[in-house]
Structure 1
Amino acid sequence: METESFDYVVVGGGSAGCIVAARLAAAARVLLLEAGDDALAHPETQSSDGFKYAFAKEGLMWHRLSTPQADCGGRAIWAGTGRVLGGSGAVNGMVYTRGDRRDFDAWPEGWRWNDVVPAFEAVEARLGVRPRPPTVFATAFLDSAVEAGFARKDGLNDGDLGGVAGCNDMNYQGEHRRSSYRAFLHGADLPGLTVRTGARVRRLRFGPDRRATAVDYDWQGRPRQAAIGREVVLCAGALETPRLLLLSGVGPRAALERLAIPVVQASAGIGRNLQDHPNVCMFYRAGAPIDFQYPQVYGFDNARAPEGLQAGIQPDTCYVCYAAPASLQQSMQRMVPILTLPGRLHDIAGLRRLLRGLVDLAFRLPLVRRFVGRVFGIVVVLGKPTSRGTVSLVSADPDQPAAIDLAYYATPEDRSVMAAAIERARAIAAKAPLAGAKPLSAGAKRVGERKRWQWIRTATMTTFHFCGSCRMGDDADSPVDTSLRVKGLANVRVADASVVPEIPVSALNAPSMMIAYRAADFILAGETA
């Protein structure tokens, strides 16, 4: 097996990994390993208008399914994330939201709002974030939200999201996406950096002192090994980072022993505390064509607050205005094969391509295009779920996927908040100037509780905000410390959304980049593990 030596090995070239690798490579030899392609091989990942095509493209996202979800009618939920240099930040809608300052009250000391703002600001200075000006229809949505009790506020990054709606910041510049790849790696003079795309990491190797000595990976059809001089930094995301640790012998002892994986470090918290934002989309048909293209209009609220919408309270739900003409075709091309192919047939790429072709044909029909041209949605997002899922191994074989249990709606609190949030979204749609739009989804209509929950169970999907599966904290249940080092190991850090203790109410891309920036700060400041 061919072996090379580096000071640092960064596993995962996504939103977090690009930042960590770029900052460390300024003064050290760094290897960045990414399972997906080079971003430049996919122009849609570089364009600010390309997000819908990137989302639908077969090779740009991991094809994963959750375990059957008991509170979603036994359905398996698609759990794809970006699989390209730039990661999910190369295929998402470019939403940049820090979260509410009260989100960080549940994070450990040293990670509260005032602690993390400097890192957010440093990332933003490189990305150049800004809101997009609202179009006529986006303004109509915001006016209706104000009539429903929301306060109008654009930017949404001052830390107070209680009861507000406005145009959120987005990471774009002209016609270009400003992902962490574009801002930190693309065109940068980093002679210490080696980037390997198409590299599938199999496991970490450890010496007797629990020091990671090497990373085993496959590249260009051959097994390789990267020897670690100082540290390995895991940035593979909340679904892959715990999987890699488990394969390497770091995790719950009983689970590892059951699969005959030698235990390097018994750590019960690896793969636990998984969180995500489940959502449903309530579709309406407006009286005029929809004229905006981006997920640029957001609202936040505490759906069950007895005093109603107001600033100063912790929001627990998010409301996004979705323009169907902008990306419904591409969304259906991605999701229809997953929703319609039974059993493991959805794993057959040829069948997925066939169904995507049929969707494309349907959207070529003038009648369909005219109908969709006036359709919009209100995406209702459960922003502060209390349910917790797991990532676990079913095999010691690195080629076998992990079992991902998202545990949607596993608590009564989550079910209650989602029900209240749907009523809040219906209230927005009922106010002028949206009043008069025809409800299309069952959830958008006035129905009984039983029928509403039947619809929720069938309509729920992920918002792709997976986090928390390697929680950081000072408590014994947290497997990662507040300097992002895996407890009990000598030189392994986690620097991605895996470490999030409690999910923010907002999108996770900005917090993921903030975590990565701080991880590099810790390492560069000499906090070697």
Structure 2
Amino acid sequence: MTLAIVLIILDRRPDGGWPELETIEYDVVIVGGGTAGSVVASRLSADPQLSVCVVEGGPSDVGDERVLALRNWINLLETEFDYDYPTVPQPRGNSHIRHSRARVLGGCSSHNTMISFRPPDEDLDDWVAAGAAGWSAAELRPYWERLEISITRVADKDRNPLAIDFVAACRTALGVPVIDDFNAAPFADGAGFLPVGYDPETGHRSSASVAYLHPHLARPNLTIMTETWAYHLDPERGVTVRTAGGDRLIRARQEYVLCAGAVDTPRLLLLSGIGPADDLKRLGLPVRLDLPGVGENLLDHPESLILWEASRPLPPMSVMDADAGLFVRRDPGATRPDLMFHLYQIPFTVNTARLGYDVPEHGFGMTPNVPRPLSAGRLTLADSDPSTKPLLDFRYFTDPAGHDERTIVDGLRLAREVAATEPFASWIRREIAPGPSLRTDQELSAYGRAAHHTVYHPAGTCRMGAPGDPGAVVGPDLRLHGFGNVRVADASIFPTMPTVNPMVLVLMIGERAAGLIRESTR
């Protein structure tokens, strides 16, 4: 392991200054200590001859019950643990969505519900078809098998009667099977309790940081810089970071690995002059490389809500208040589900209240979700100031065929079928939103799109693709086009959205990235 501290004069910082910055050198510099970054750091620092630095913009999660207690996840949103990105106006969707992005070690695995699905094989077939050679389900299976997080089905002690009755009603109303293990192949439609990364005894999350970093914090060749925000990358000189004590430069002798997520990885590249040249010139940013795909292909899982007032107080037993789910295959000939629901044991009325609906004292809902949306948007910069939040334009419900809109409408109708079926029906006093008077496709579409939210799954903004693909930002080896010493390893590389919650797939990306880097560093 070798570490060096030198002094370097930068060409020019984004603010126009010519500072002299302290520069620290490591073999590998990882920008983002989140879901994938934790994996990469853990695997690479297992080699004592390799010095590894993680640059993380938020604080540590070590010993912080607010972060570690899984059921507290909703109380982390729009706090000091959240970058809290707004959405630009959405003509066909909800313009009021705040996209939570975790500002804490472990990233969104320290911030989410820890629902942990292995992606269906067909999702990865889609990736290969999109030019991601080497990313088939068979080729990724070893990374699934070596994951360190602890994935378990919701424990019996955490299964409350509302969720149990929901699963039973789904079976009766829709004829779907009860799924004992959603991660058993092949992935099937059905209802059941979800696989979750947590410790049933303590209720703590088994996040990427807990599983991959906490056991190895004493490694002398692993440096984790928290409260350290990266805002400029020069692959020849280093990453410029901002800390409470001022700016510094972190240089990698071998590789930079960008793991800042589908918002902050493209944001960093754009601020560094890597992206669509016309956009960069318009903002007055010097163009280092014209890479048109940076920020394009912005994807998400939109979901709407059918909200009920409960007939009685809800039972307190729960892992994270979204313990049971339902997958539906609307086309009997399809090989995987195309409609998904979470059962939320919390009202989640942020959007319905804005539309004028009542907020019940005791309420719960089902959330029809678009598993593989066809609408895609774009991330851009508002200006050249690194502190200005980027512009997120998801272009929700704009796919020409209307697939995403139709999925929400079908989902609201199917949810009503479940709600009318015992034993779930006895939990419901009344439907609050959209309300029983809204019946037509047009009425349900207008409501569903106005009330829709996000499952906080932005992806795709540094899309992986085949050599020669003009819209691709990285190749199947995760190398950033135009730079041999920079890789991207996070959800921004997704060519298409997976059917399921993407956290496990991001962990597998981290595992694969670490393997690719180990091969090259040898």
**Both proteins in one fold, TM over 0.5:** yes
TM-score class, shorter? 0.7 to 0.9
Task: Give the structure 1 partner of residue 509 of structure 2.
Answer: 515
Q: How does 1:187-206 map to 2 (within 5 A)?
A: 187-188=215-216, 189-206=218-235
The equivalent of 2:46 in structure 1 is 26
The C-alpha deviation readout for 1:278-332, integer Å capped at 9, x for no partner, is 11121123434432423221111234x2x4xx8x6222221111102xxx5xx66
1:70 paired with 2:70, answer no
Structure 1 unaligned blocks of 5 or more: 208-212, 341-361, 363-367
Structural mapping, 1:209-358, within 5 Å: 213-291=237-315, 292-293=317-318, 294=320, 295-303=322-330, 305=331, 307=332, 313-324=335-346, 328=347
1:527 CA displacement: 6.8
In structure 2, distance between residues paired with 1:155 and 1:31? 37
Point out the structure with the larger helix share: 1
Residues 443, 456 of structure 1: 8 Å contact kept:
no
Pick from 452, 461, 484: which aligns with 1:469?
461
Q: Distance in 1 between matches of 2:475 and 2:506?
A: 17
* Structure 1 contact 65–78 (Cα < 8 Å) conserved: yes
Residue 488 of structure 1: aligned partner = 482
Q: 1:179 to 1:490 in 2, by over 3 A?
A: same
Task: Give SS of 1:117's match.
Answer: helix
Q: 1:390 aligns with which of 378, 391, 401?
A: 378
Query: Please, which runs of 5 or more residues in structure 2 have no aligned partner?
Result: 1-20
Letter of the 1:282 partner, please give it. I
Alignment match of 2:154 (pick from 115, 118, 131) = 131
Kept in 2: contact 1:8–1:233 (CA 8 A) = yes
The alignment partner of 1:391 has SS state of strand
Contact 1:265/1:489 (CA < 8 Å) preserved in 2? no
Q: In the alignment, residue 93 of structure 2 is paired with which amino acid? A: C
**Distance in 2 (alpha carbons) for counterparts of 1:72 and 1:483:** 35
Match of 1:160 in 2: 186
- For 2:284 and 2:438, the matched residues in 1 are separated by 54
TM-score by length of 1: 0.86
Question: Is residue 93 of structure 1 aligned with residue 113 of structure 2?
Answer: yes
Aligned to 1:410: 398
Give runs of aligned pairs for residues 356-367 of structure 1, distance below 5 A. Answer: none
Q: Distance in 1 between matches of 2:476 and 2:435?
A: 42
Q: CA deviation at 1:221?
A: 3.3
Aligned pair count reads 478
* Partner residue, 2:208: 180
Aligned with 1:142: secondary structure?
A: helix
Which residue of the partner structure matches residue 411 of structure 2? 421
Instruction: Report the counterpart of residue 57 of structure 2 in structure 1.
Output: 35
SS of the equivalent of 2:247 reads: strand
Cα offset, 1:135, TM superposition: 2.7
- Structure 1 residues 390-421: Cα deviation after superposition (integer angstroms, max 9, x where no partner): 11112122111111101110122211222112
Q: Does 1:80 align with 2:92?
A: no
- Within 5 A, what are the aligned runs for 1:362-377? 372-373=361-362, 375-377=363-365
Deviation at 1:513, TM superposition (A): 0.8
1:128, CA displacement in angstroms? Answer: 4.4
Between the aligned partners of 2:258 and 2:451, the Cα distance in structure 1 is 33
Paired residue for 2:170, among 139, 145, 148? 145
Worse-superposed segment, 259-268 or 130-139: 130-139
2:421 counterpart (418, 431, 441): 431
Letter paired with 1:296: D
Equivalent-residue separation in structure 1 for 2:306 and 2:493 (angstroms)? 32
Q: TM-score, normalised by structure 2?
A: 0.87
Write the deviation string for residues 402-453 of structure 1: whole angstroms up to 9, x where unpaired. 1110111012221122211221222222222123522121166652233323
Shift of 1:187: 3.3
SS of residue matched to 2:70: coil
Number of the residue aligned with 1:447: 439
What is the deviation of 1:388?
0.5
RMSD: 2.2
Q: Deviations over 1:462-496 (max 9, x none)?
A: 11011111111213321111111111112111100
2:492 and 2:506 mapped to 1: Cα distance? 9
Change beyond 3 A, Cα 1:166–1:233: same
Equivalent AA in structure 1 for residue 361 of structure 2? V
Q: Secondary structure at the match of 1:372?
A: coil
Structure 2 CA distance, aligned partners of 1:394 and 1:104? Answer: 34
C-alpha deviation, 1:227, in angstroms: 1.3
Distance 2:93 2:454 in 1: 12
**SS of match in other structure, 1:525:** helix
Deviation beyond 6 Å, 4+ runs, structure 1: none
CA distance in 1, matches of 2:302, 2:389: 22
**Post-superposition CA distance 1:159-211 (Å, at most 9, x none):** 4334211111111112121101000111314211111111111110144xxxx
**Separation in 2, partners of 1:196, 1:428:** 49
Separation of aligned partners in 2, 1:261 and 1:446: 50
